Amino acid sequence: MARRRAVQPNGGEAPWRIAQDSTVKLSARAPVLHAVPGFFVQGEDQVGAPDPPHYAAHLGLLPKKTWTEIDEVIGDGKEKKLVIFLRHGEAQHNADKARVGDEEWTNHLQFQADYTDAALTSKGIQQAKDAGQMLKEEIEQRGLQLDLVVVSPLDRTLNTYEHAFADIPVDAPVISLEIARETLGVCTCDRRLAMAPKRAAHPRVDFRLVKDEHDEWWTRDHRESDQEIEARAAELMRYLLEERPERRIAVIEARAAELMRYLLEERPERRIAVVSHSGFIRASLRALGHRFYRPENGEFVPFPLKSMGF
């Protein structure tokens, strides 16, 4: 049986989907997803208030709030989860774009093959280690727990995971999902290299849901739209909220929604870290009604995720 493919808003095929077999169930409806405010400084949007500081203490947990209280809010995880995004550390393309400016990057450098699946810089490695230290303190000293780690399969996110979680006392499954990748297309830094070396280099990561050895998602002439990436992110959240692990994702028009719904509907875990990218994190926040927040390299963005029904 030919496998079904997701469809983009323009009518073309979208390459992304978490479940890539013929058992995918299509659904005409998808639950409304929402990031619950009132727990983290990154999600507070008070009129006249300054933007929250980057790299906030305790991952941004508001004063008088605790991880125990968040555990009580998310309950059994059937309709609510805790999602903690971590943006990768500085990669070579980030450093060079900052050095040459937006115009030179957009007109020339972003097309160069040297940036393919861009690696972390030494600064980015240190940022990942610093993030890991922050996370370790919350786990060991303040009661944060993690049940699942999701990692984009690009080198900069995989290596951020390795450095950040090297000394983290968490016995949780670690899975890699293509759907958590950066905005797709045009920029060579967002093109994935072959999987075989990644599997060898990262034995703790489960890559079984990354189906293609070579990158079938990235295209040279089309950059993923805001609509496409927001829908992709929301779908991952849906997947994570779903309590029934045997259910497959509903295919919708793009991938930001897909990641959100995947986390909500397909994963039984309640407290989930996602190591991803700036564009994808911002798309997720937009899809969930979260205030605008652009994370720095190596920065966390946590929020409780809730399904509001249909």
Annotated binding site for substrate, which residues?
156
User: Which residues make beta-bridge pairs with 13?
Assistant: 7
Amino acid at 155: D
Q: Could you tell me which residues are annotated as the binding site?
A: 156
C-alpha to C-alpha distance for 194 and 196, rounded to whole angstroms: 6
Q: What is the three-class DSSP state of 261?
A: helix
Amino acid at 83: V
For residue 132, which of 295, 300, 304, 301 has the smallest C-alpha distance?
A: 300
Torsion of CA 23, 24, 30, 32, to 10 degrees: 100
User: Which residues make beta-bridge pairs with 176?
Assistant: 151
Specify whether the CB–CB gap between 185 and 224 falls below 8 A: yes
The DSSP call for residue 206 is B
